[in-house]
Every structure is written in structure tokens, then in C-alpha cells.
Amino acid sequence: MNSESVAFLTERLLKNVDGCREGRMDAEAFLQEAENLLGGLPLYPARTITEVGTAVGEKLDALPAVAVDLTLRLMGSTERAVRAMTVAVIARLARYQPGMWVETALHLINDDDWEVRDLAAHIFDTPDAGDGAADFHLQFVCDTVTDWVINPNERIRRAASHALLRYAVCHAEFRPRWLDMLDPLITDTSEYVRFSLVSALRTLGRADGPLVLNYMESALNRLTDESREVFRLTLDHAFTAKYPERKSELLARL
């Protein structure tokens, strides 16, 4: 989608927000218009959905009287593109008050569409541009993600592995804490969760290979079949090519 189309979508949605604020449009009509505008829009690359949703979130952030109602309407849409956009809306609204949006975040993390779930995992994370809830309320977000790590729902545990990944990549001092938070996932009984952790470790490995390798070495004394699989798959990635001896040593001990 070109920039003109994105601008058109954004302008229409923002005008509709104004219509709701002024009483010219009700929440149901707002939802229907959003579904008409976004229906069938691909979710990836996510830049378009995120850009539109962020703009709507910025608008709603200044309109608390209608923000919650309209956001909840969008979240309940049957159109996956609308639900995906809602992730960006909530990410914007949650920057200063993440506690208000934990339950809605969990709803989207548990969405039936896997692409919506993947986007929702980053709802409190540092966005590609600007700031997120983690940048303003890191302790709260860490406590929330720590709870997700032990949640009975595997979709929520899976989201935990990526929930602060961008923040960890951007903030070197946070990386050891991030690894410690996610440590229980290396022995998770769900392959779905473990494979997501592998993806996260590989991503961090590109930013800080030695740290990830050191973490794996420190965990060798408590290996399980599950953690062996996580570590083998993590090592089977291009970032380890810079550290061939460390890779060989670790593989020999797995």
C-alpha cells in the first residue's frame, strides 16, 4: 500500500473519531466504517497497520471520553485487520497507563489469528518508532510479562518471549534481566512456546551474541530434553558463525 492510500485511511478514521466525539457517529457505525476501510488489508508487512493504528491511538489519547468504548469496539471486530490495528491503538494508549490495558492485551494475545497474536505480543514493547509502555513503566511491564511466563495458556507464555524483545535489543543493560525473566520458558512443555523462545534468543543473539552464549553455558548444569532442543536450535543460526569455538563447545556439551 502506497503512502497516499495510508494517508487516506488514516484521514477517514480520524474524521470518524471526531464524529464520535461530536455525537455525529455512534460506536457501532465507527466499527462498521473501520471494517469497510480495512477489510482484507494484509497484516504484513505490519508498517501500514501500525502507522494507521498509532495515528488513531494518538487521537484517542486526547479523547478519554470515547477512547475506551471505541477501542473495545475495534478489538471485537470480525475483521482481523481491524483487530491488528487495535494492537497499535492500545500500544499508544497504554504508554502512560499500561495497567488499564492488560486485559485487552491478553485478549488480543489470545486471538484466533496467529498474525494478530504476533503483533499483540509487542503491545507494551518499544515500537519501531517512538516510545512504548516499557519506556515509561518498565517495572510494571516486567511484572506483567513475568506473570505471562507462568500463565497456563500457552499463547500467553509464547507472547512473553517477545513482549520486551525490542526493548532488550535497544537497551544493553536490560538484556541480562530479560534473559532471567524468560528462563522458565527453556523447559516449557509446549513446543509452540519453546520455538518462540528460540526465535527471541536468535534475535537477541544478533545484537549481543556473547551474552546469549554465556547464558546458555550458565544453564548447562540444569539441562532437560526441552532446554537441549532450545539451545541446539538457537545455535543453528547465523549469529553463531562469529563464535565458532564457543558454538562447538556448547554443542559438544548438549
Q: Cell 539441562, residue?
A: 223
Read off φ and ψ for residue 79, nearest 5 degrees: -90, 120
Mean pLDDT of 28-57: 94
Mean pLDDT of 113-135: 94
Among the listed residues 109, 126, 46, 55, the one whose alpha carbon sits nearest the alpha carbon of residue 81: 46
pLDDT band at 5 (very low <50, low <70, confident <90, very high): confident
Domain covering 137-254 assigned CATH 1.25.40.290 in the classification: yes
pLDDT per residue as tens digits for the range 157-181: 999 999 999 999 999 999 999 999 9
Given a contact cutoff of 8 angstroms between Cβ atoms, the answer to whether 126 and 170 are in contact is: yes
Residue 146: exposure state from Cβ atoms within 10 A (0-12, 13-18, ≥19):
middle
pLDDT per residue as tens digits for the range 176-200: 999 999 999 999 999 999 999 999 9
pLDDT per residue as tens digits for the range 126-137: 998 789 999 999
Residues for the chain: how many in total? Answer: 254
pLDDT given for residue 2 in this prediction: 73
Among the listed residues 149, 93, 100, the one whose alpha carbon sits nearest the alpha carbon of residue 121: 149
Q: What is the pTM of this model?
A: 0.93
pLDDT given for residue 6 in this prediction: 86
pLDDT given for residue 101 in this prediction: 97
